[in-house]
Structure 1
Amino acid sequence: MSFDQKLKAFPSVRERYDAMGAAGEVDPDAAQRALADRLDRLIEELGQKRLSKKGSALGWLFGRKTANREPVKGLYIYGEVGRGKTMLMDLFYALAPVKRKRRAHFNDFMADVHERIHAHRQAFKRGETKQEDPIPPVADALAEAAWVLCFDEFTVTDITDAMILSRLFSALFERGVVLVATSNVQPDNLYRDGLNRQLFLPFIDILKRHVDVICLDSRTDYRLEKLNRQPVYVTPLGDAARRQMDVAWDAAKDGAEERTDILVVKGHKVAVPRAAGSAARFSFGDLCSKPLGASNYMAIVRRYHVIFIDDVPVLDYARRNEAKRFILLIDTLYDHHARLVVSAETTPDKLYLASSGTEAFEFERTASRLFEMQSTEYLEAVASGDPRAIQGVPG
């Protein structure tokens, strides 16, 4: 049964969640069930708002009378990685009775906002608009395109984002936009220790006035619990390896809808062929046969915490450029404490055949790290979220 068919068969988040539990797709959890019920209440409120305003087109979004109407409060759902936040928001988004809705990773949304602001400022310079302030027209355009916004992994690390969020979201909320977001941190800890954080604090107050804050405090990380039962380095390549990787991938997805994704890094696009929640799956060629560099790998590991790499081949001097990228990739994943699942032609210490050149020396470190990333100590440290527990391999 396809994802769409399942949604039709189980028309509420709770019904779909319970069906997934009965089918063994998720391990039923009281906190997740409670969140499913709360998402269903929000779906009901959105449906009532849509029906009550059906005859007024967009007027209720932009009219001054909006202030006199009872707004729909969104949800801000936070909790540790792997608690099921993304899976449940996927179900909510698919079932929300709203045509004009948008689901995006928060970083992608902000990249879009910055592009819109830049375009407006250029238009102002050319005399095409008399409106100097870009925030109101950008908010108008965003609200007209979608009055329900769903953000995955809501986080603020960029000072440029931090400086505009208060004004931008004040304008969006004034236009009736409803926000549903997942995050690993509670609102009060957003942009913690950030530069000029005092200028960001008004946004936190605005956010908490327009959303109900929910902590999804599941008793364990079910996704990693399932993934821990699977091998994390599969060799040799072949049908058996592909089957093992697929089983591990299903465990990492933990019911989240699979999709393709695009990361924009310094104006360049990096394709993510398979993504689900905070897990992403690539082939070796996707990551190492293309001209990718450190900034690309950094963007990937910041977005995704569990990385799958299929079909790592044995490399030699003729493929040293691919070897260099693989070395850089593993260094980046290791330094950021990512969970790595790999299928490879042979064991880490036999992946690079050349005995000369700097790559041969550097690959010794890569092989060592690949072995360590399979260790119980590394996996437990990743699951605990405490990077200090990971004992690094010297240089």
Structure 2
Amino acid sequence: MTTSLTSRFPTPAPGELVAQLVPPPRFQQARLDNYIPDPDYPSQEAAKQSLQQFASRLTAQPSSSRGGLLSMFGRKKGPAAAHGLYLDGGFGVGKTHLLTALFHIAPGRPLYGTFVEYTNLIGVLGFTRAVEEFSTASVLCIDEFELDDVGDTLLMTRMIRELSDRGVPVVATSNTLPDALGEGRFAAQDFLREIQAMADRFDVLRIDGLDYREKDRIDDPPQLADDQVRSGARGDRVSLDDFEPLAEHLREVHPSRYGAMIDGIERCHIVGMEQVSEHNRGLRLVVLIDRLYDREVPVALSGVRVPELFTEDLLNSGYRKKYLRCLSRLGALQADGARALV
């Protein structure tokens, strides 16, 4: 029987959230060996080599270096501050592939999550307990790093500094250089010292290139009618929702739980997609599409065309890169959904 996402209110326990700090299904097989750099963009090969060298240093590092060394006075000496990597580039150039490839070859206990998953977990565990939990990691991988508000800025910059001071390197991906985080969304200049202190913990790898998803996309996916989307929604693992109730439901579920909300869904059907003109609604939709994309869930849509989903005001705002990434990913998922029904 078809299910509805609006009927799902997941409440994972803190332990479950920590256990879920692993790469999503789409990237379970991502390795450096199967990352194929575009020869037209040498920065891709350079980034691949840098990740390999970084992983080699992690493997060669003695385990004792993270726990502290005995000094000549018999006291424990803390590890040197760790220096991480920051993968900067446009969407679709393989940053997440490289990040998850690092996770798979890192020694010890690597952790992987999106920015929103980490911030939520800190909220659930409390800052001190979260830092203690993360400090046992061999490397902390943060995908889709972005600072959308002042609170997140202070939280994440402090966490990165504390983990770095404990010898835990952080590797992050983003569409924005670390010293430009927050631009266009809040008064970043008021927090420049905090942002710069965080940026100093990274070596930046710029990755250029084209969106690889464009290669496999249907140029103009069939525009499905409402009845096609509804009639195609058959099966226990298929969801069917009208867009407006779904958009309202996303207000009631914390974005960090969107992944749990769609667990077990193999195809998502949404009827009556409407253009989005308000940031809060738009950003919640961005997170939902990210989680659907992570889990390789095709999406069958009716209503507004994907390129027209967000208004020009949203696309020209400080969140522009997030919205463009969402359109890229949703276009790929829509193509998969259209193939399933047409």
Native 8 Å contact 2:141 2:170 kept in 1: yes
Number of the residue aligned with 1:300: 285
Structure 2 Cα separation of the partners of residues 344 and 6 of structure 1:
24
Structure 2 Cα separation of the partners of residues 79 and 5 of structure 1:
22
Native 8 Å contact 1:79 1:183 kept in 2: yes
**39-48 or 299-308, larger mean C-alpha shift:** 299-308
Number of the residue aligned with 1:33: 45
> Is 1:209 aligned to 2:181, yes or no?
no
For residue 140 of structure 1, what is the amino acid of its counterpart? E
> Is 1:163 aligned to 2:154, yes or no?
yes
CA pair 32-206 structure 1, distance change in 2 beyond 3 A:
same
Higher relative contact order (CA 8 A, sep 6+): 2
CA pair 175-71 structure 1, distance change in 2 beyond 3 A:
closer
> Is 1:223 aligned to 2:213, yes or no?
yes
Structure 1 Cα separation of the partners of residues 251 and 131 of structure 2:
22
For residue 108 of structure 2, what is the amino acid of its counterpart? V
Number of the residue aligned with 2:113: 104
1:136-151 matched pairs, under 5 angstroms = 136-144=128-136, 146-151=137-142
Structure 2 Cα separation of the partners of residues 282 and 84 of structure 1:
24
Q: By how many angstroms is 1:115 displaced?
A: 2.1
Please, which runs of 5 or more residues in structure 1 have no aligned partner?
8-12, 118-134, 242-262, 276-280, 313-325, 348-395
1:1-395 matched pairs, under 5 angstroms = 14-17=32-35, 21=36, 30-49=42-61, 52-54=62-64, 58-59=67-68, 65-66=77-78, 69-99=79-109, 101-117=110-126, 135-144=127-136, 146-218=137-209, 220-227=210-217, 231=221, 233=223, 266-267=253-254, 269-270=257-258, 271-273=261-263, 282-284=267-269, 287=270, 298-302=283-287, 304=289, 310-311=299-300, 333-335=309-311, 338=327, 339-340=330-331, 341=334, 342-343=337-338
Structure 2 Cα separation of the partners of residues 234 and 329 of structure 1:
10
Native 8 Å contact 2:43 2:208 kept in 1: yes
Native 8 Å contact 2:66 2:166 kept in 1: no
For residue 37 of structure 1, what is the amino acid of its counterpart? Q
Structure 2 Cα separation of the partners of residues 158 and 150 of structure 1:
21
CA pair 297-345 structure 1, distance change in 2 beyond 3 A:
farther
**194-203 or 297-306, larger mean C-alpha shift:** 297-306
Native 8 Å contact 1:147 1:177 kept in 2: yes
CA pair 43-209 structure 1, distance change in 2 beyond 3 A:
same
Q: Deviations over 1:94-128 (max 9, x none)?
A: 111222x11000011011112223xxxxxxxxxxx
Structure 1 Cα separation of the partners of residues 307 and 113 of structure 2:
28
Secondary structure of the residue that 1:157 maps to in structure 2? Answer: coil
Native 8 Å contact 1:139 1:172 kept in 2: yes
Native 8 Å contact 2:83 2:164 kept in 1: no
Q: Deviations over 1:235-290 (max 9, x none)?
A: 9979xx9xxxxxxxxxxxxxxxxxxxxx9964473334599xxxxx8421xx569x
Secondary structure of the residue that 1:182 maps to in structure 2? Answer: strand
CA pair 345-115 structure 1, distance change in 2 beyond 3 A:
closer
CA pair 147-200 structure 1, distance change in 2 beyond 3 A:
farther
CA pair 27-232 structure 1, distance change in 2 beyond 3 A:
farther
CA pair 283-98 structure 1, distance change in 2 beyond 3 A:
same
TM-score (norm 2): 0.61
Structure 2 Cα separation of the partners of residues 4 and 197 of structure 1:
33
Structure 1 Cα separation of the partners of residues 26 and 284 of structure 2:
29
Q: Deviations over 1:344-376 (max 9, x none)?
A: 9999xxxxxxxxxxxxxxxxxxxxxxxxxxxxx
Structure 1 Cα separation of the partners of residues 264 and 177 of structure 2:
28
Secondary structure of the residue that 1:98 maps to in structure 2? Answer: coil
Native 8 Å contact 1:75 1:181 kept in 2: yes
Secondary structure of the residue that 2:135 maps to in structure 1? Answer: helix
CA pair 179-4 structure 1, distance change in 2 beyond 3 A:
closer
CA pair 74-331 structure 1, distance change in 2 beyond 3 A:
closer
CA pair 154-233 structure 1, distance change in 2 beyond 3 A:
same
Native 8 Å contact 1:148 1:177 kept in 2: yes
Structure 2 Cα separation of the partners of residues 5 and 298 of structure 1:
26
Q: By how many angstroms is 1:297 displaced?
A: 6.8
For residue 111 of structure 2, what is the amino acid of its counterpart? R
For residue 33 of structure 2, what is the amino acid of its counterpart? E
Structure 2 Cα separation of the partners of residues 41 and 73 of structure 1:
13
Secondary structure of the residue that 1:215 maps to in structure 2? Answer: strand
Q: By how many angstroms is 1:309 displaced?
A: 5.0
Structure 1 Cα separation of the partners of residues 178 and 129 of structure 2:
27
Secondary structure of the residue that 1:162 maps to in structure 2? Answer: helix
Structure 1 Cα separation of the partners of residues 200 and 307 of structure 2:
42
RMSD over aligned Cα, in angstroms? 4.5
Secondary structure of the residue that 2:58 maps to in structure 1? Answer: helix
CA pair 345-15 structure 1, distance change in 2 beyond 3 A:
closer
Q: Percent identity?
A: 23
Structure 1 Cα separation of the partners of residues 167 and 66 of structure 2:
13
Q: By how many angstroms is 1:332 displaced?
A: 9.1
For residue 91 of structure 1, what is the amino acid of its counterpart? A
TM-score (norm 1): 0.54
